[in-house]
Amino acid sequence: MKRTRWIEVRGWSLTSPYLIFTLIFFIIPLIWGIVLLFTNWNLISPHRDFVGFANFIEALKSPKVHAAFFTTYKVMAIFIPTVLTSSLAIALLINSIPRLKGLISVGFFLPYLVSGVAVALVVNGVLSYNSPLSPMFRRLFGCVPDWFGNSTLAVMVISLMITWKLSGYYALIFLSGLSSIPKELYEAADIDGAGWWTKLFKITIPMLYPALYTVIILAVGLMFGIFTEPYMLTGGGPDLATHTWVLEIYYQAFSSMRAGYASMIALINATVTFISIIIIRKIMEGWGKRHGWT
Amino acid sequence: MGGHKGLINTFKYSLIIIGLSISIFPLVYMLLQSLAPWNEVNRNIIPTTLTLRSYNWLLLGSAIAKAKPWLRSLLNSTIVTASSTFLMVFSAAIVGYALSKLKFRGRNSIYNFILFQMFYPGIILLIPTFLIVKSLGMYNNYLGMIIPKAMSIWAIFMYTSFFKSIPQEVIDSARVDGASELRIIFRIALPMSRSITIVVALFLFMGRWEELLWDMIVVSDYKLMTLNVLIATMKSTYGGYPGPMYAASILLVIPVLILFIAFSKDFAKGIKLVFK
């Protein structure tokens, strides 16, 4: 009996930092956030009105919210395929070489360490009209593209910046997945005379399911929180082509001072994120099941 | 056959060299441009001569423009990131230990709530958390940047699952010897999880160092801004001075790189445990 009480006291006192923190920075904001959704408060004045569902209706009609919604999927359509290809390629390369594996994987991880703010400055410089890369672009495209004046190009630049940053990180996840694939599978395939591509698509990729699942969920989740790159480079333009959820929430809450309206957009963002992740998970799990993963 | 294999390896290493060049190009570019004469910044990849003019201008200012507190902001970044990281690791170790090694009533509920929080989109909490920080008097000071980022749900989760692998006998025998729970955590459990602690701390440090949105909204005073925020804030004002901006980026990137390279061996070891 005494022993039991001792463990209760220790358990609750050691978790108390978490409990207090969660109360102040999770539970209370959660409740406050719900109240805010239905007000038109401007963060400063003591005056605030209950506006019912006006914020919700305004957000649903807002072209900026629509833009944020579509930008996420546009960036995703470029980012997911490119990041999967490059990180898988990096992992396969590193896995297949005899020497310097550790050093090389650290090298590929370096972009993850570079702050998006600093990378944005470089991208801005490199893509400027007179940049040292301009002659190359002129040779390739016949002119220097107006990278941030063209919607498609701007989305592409931002997506590829994120691909650059995360490829090495995701490659580490794939590397640890590759190390757990039994060698016998490849030996058996060799006996059957399977080629490199067949082995890749019939053995490696299906066997990487757990790593692929992790990477895809991480990558999709990331797409709904893009902020630094468009904030630094485009401000959401041109024509809202790179406007993102977090950018819209930030501008509404801290430039236009519309805390209630911004909270409503945050809630819509969270809901869209949640539904998108569930759909992706279902697709992934279906694919996994067909390859014998449960 | 041997020659064939050698050829394939040469091909692979060349691919790797191309890949690595793309990976580090922005870093190299940043460094070279920060040292370039001003009329060559963003004109030549490799400057004809090297100069410290950009660093000088950045840190000392010029006749017409007083320097912004760049070194101070580097110090701010260091203080904020180091304190936050320390608190996140410290709290995660304690809570993770309690959740994995103490079978108290309510443990499962707490653990389930942590899982719920992990998947809860933080963006909904951004504005109300800002209001709480403001009402607690932490707006525009270090506490506003440190305290709301003093606990990491992910780190708690990592420690909870990692401490499970520590044999119960080790802990029981320490208790028999009269060690307190805190002593067990910091003298036994944490030292036994050195690699995981280094990986967790490095990830938390990098994430905190790069934070832009939160640090931007809780601080308005130039003297208190982190380096990351100061660069982002000055990007249009200093738009005509790309050289000094590259110099500031180098100041921003170097500390993280040094830290990471110093621990890269432990990182390589620990990362395998994280993604297991």
* A202: in domain: yes
* A33: in domain: no
Higher pLDDT, A101 or A226: A226
Q: Which tokens belong to B108?
A: 């499962």
Which letter does DSSP use for residue A26 in this model? I
* A48: in domain: no
What is the pLDDT, as a whole number, of residue B276?
62
Residues 6 or more apart whose Cβ sits within 8 Å of residue A291: A206, A209
Contact B95 A270 (CB under 8 A): no
Q: How confident is the model at residue A257 (pLDDT cuts 50, 70, 90)?
A: confident
What is the pLDDT, as a whole number, of residue A256?
85
Please compute the mean of the pLDDT values over residues A267-275 and round it to a whole number. 91
Element (H, E) at B191: helix B190-192
**Domains of chain B, residue spans:** 2-60, 70-274
Amino acid B87 reads L
Please compute the mean of the pLDDT values over residues A18-33 and round it to a whole number. 91
Looking at the structure of chain A, the number of domains it has is: 1
Contact B127 A22 (CB under 8 A): no
Contact B268 A105 (CB under 8 A): yes
Look over chain B and give the mean of its residue pLDDT values, rounded to a whole number. 88
Please compute the mean of the pLDDT values over residues B176-205 and round it to a whole number. 88
What is the pLDDT, as a whole number, of residue A2?
59
* Contact between B80 and B66 (Cβ < 8 Å): no
Cis peptide before B148 (omega within 30 of 0): no
Please compute the mean of the pLDDT values over residues A10-39 and round it to a whole number. 89
A266 vs A250: CA distance, rounded Å: 10
Helix ranges (H only) for A114-195 are 116-126, 134-141, 151-178, 183-191
Please compute the mean of the pLDDT values over residues A148-171 and round it to a whole number. 93
Residues 6 or more apart whose Cβ sits within 8 Å of residue B243: B33, B34, B36, B38, B41, B53, B54, B57
What is the pLDDT, as a whole number, of residue B3?
67
Q: Which tokens belong to B215?
A: 């640090």
Contact B268 A24 (CB under 8 A): no
Burial class (CB in 10 A: 0-12, 13-18, 19+), A98: exposed
Of A7, A115, A266, the CB nearest to B126: A266
Please compute the mean of the pLDDT values over residues B86-102 and round it to a whole number. 92
Residues 6 or more apart whose Cβ sits within 8 Å of residue A196: none
Amino acid B49 reads T
Contact A28 B228 (CB under 8 A): no
Q: What share of chain B is helix, strand, coil (3-state, %, to 5)?
A: 75, 0, 25
- Whether A14 has its CB under 8 Å from any CB of chain B: the answer is yes
Please compute the mean of the pLDDT values over residues B1-26 and round it to a whole number. 85
Burial class (CB in 10 A: 0-12, 13-18, 19+), A187: exposed
Look over chain A and give the mean of its residue pLDDT values, rounded to a whole number. 88
What are the chain A neighbours of B98 within 8 Å (beta carbons)? Answer: 10-11, 14-15
What are the chain B neighbours of A15 within 8 Å (beta carbons)? Answer: 95, 98-99, 110
A116-125, B57-66, B176-185, B257-266: range with lowest mean pLDDT: B57-66
Residue A162 has pLDDT above 90, yes or no: yes
Beta bridge partners of A50: A39
What is the pLDDT, as a whole number, of residue B59?
84
CA-based nearest distance B95→chain A, Å: 5
Convert the pLDDT of each residue in A212-255 to its tens digit.
999 999 999 899 999 999 999 998 878 898 999 999 999 998 88
Mutation site, B94, B104, B145, B149, interface A, largest A CB count within 10 A? B104
CA-based nearest distance A203→chain B, Å: 20
* Contact between B275 and B200 (Cβ < 8 Å): no
Q: How confident is the model at residue A128 (pLDDT cuts 50, 70, 90)?
A: confident
Distances (CA, A) of B23 to A168, B19, B41, B199: 8, 6, 21, 21
From A13, which residue of chain B is nearest by alpha-carbon distance? B98
Contact A266 B124 (CB under 8 A): yes
What is the pLDDT, as a whole number, of residue B1?
46
B186 vs B90: CA distance, rounded Å: 9
Of A17, A250, A263, the CB nearest to B213: A250
Q: What percent of chain A has pLDDT over 90?
A: 46
- Whether A220 has its CB under 8 Å from any CB of chain B: the answer is no
Q: Can you tell me the ipTM of this complex?
A: 0.87
* Contact between A280 and A216 (Cβ < 8 Å): yes
A61 vs A58: CA distance, rounded Å: 5
* A164: in domain: yes
Distances (CA, A) of A224 to A112, A221, A269, B116: 18, 6, 7, 18
Q: Show the beta-strand stretches assigned E in B21-158.
A: none
What is the pLDDT, as a whole number, of residue B63?
67
- Whether A262 has its CB under 8 Å from any CB of chain B: the answer is yes
Helix ranges (H only) for A179-294 are 183-191, 196-199, 205-207, 209-223, 228-233, 245-250, 259-290
Q: Determine the structural domain holding residue A195 and report its residue range.
A: 62-290
Contact A25 B24 (CB under 8 A): no
How is domain B70-274 classified at the architecture level of CATH?
Answer: Orthogonal Bundle (1.10)
Beta bridge partners of B112: none
What is the pLDDT, as a whole number, of residue B228?
93
Report the Cα A100 to chain-centroid distance in Å: 30
Please compute the mean of the pLDDT values over residues B191-202 and round it to a whole number. 89
Does the pTM surpass 0.80? The reply is yes
Q: How confident is the model at residue A142 (pLDDT cuts 50, 70, 90)?
A: confident
Please compute the mean of the pLDDT values over residues B247-269 and round it to a whole number. 89
What are the chain B neighbours of A21 within 8 Å (beta carbons)? Answer: 91, 150-151
From B206, which residue of chain A is nearest by alpha-carbon distance? A113
What is the pLDDT, as a whole number, of residue B159?
92
A283 vs B106: CA distance, rounded Å: 35
Q: Which tokens belong to A136?
A: 């190359």
Amino acid A121 reads L
Distances (CA, A) of B125 to A23, A27, A29, A258, B146: 12, 9, 6, 15, 16
- Whether A146 has its CB under 8 Å from any CB of chain B: the answer is no
* Contact between B163 and B193 (Cβ < 8 Å): yes
Contact A126 B20 (CB under 8 A): no
* A182: in domain: yes
Q: Which tokens belong to A22?
A: 């969660």
Higher pLDDT, A33 or B89: B89
Chain B, residues 187-246, CB within 8 A of chain A, namely 206, 209-210, 212-213, 217, 228, 231-232, 235, 242, 245-246
Contact B128 A164 (CB under 8 A): no
* A43: in domain: no
Residues 6 or more apart whose Cβ sits within 8 Å of residue B221: B140
- CATH, residue A249: 1.10.3720.10
Give me the torsion for CA of A19, A23, A24, A29, rounded to 10°. 150
A129 vs A65: CA distance, rounded Å: 31
Tokens 């701007």 — which residue?
A: A154
Report the Cα A116 to chain-centroid distance in Å: 13
Chain A, residues 77-106, CB within 8 A of chain B, namely 89-90, 93-94, 96-98, 102, 104-106
Of A21, A98, A107, the CB nearest to B23: A107
DSSP reduced 3-state for A47: coil
Higher pLDDT, B4 or B218: B218
Chain A, residues 230-249, CB within 8 A of chain B, namely 231-232, 245-246, 249
Mutation site, B16, B48, B123, interface A, largest A CB count within 10 A? B123
Contact B128 A11 (CB under 8 A): no
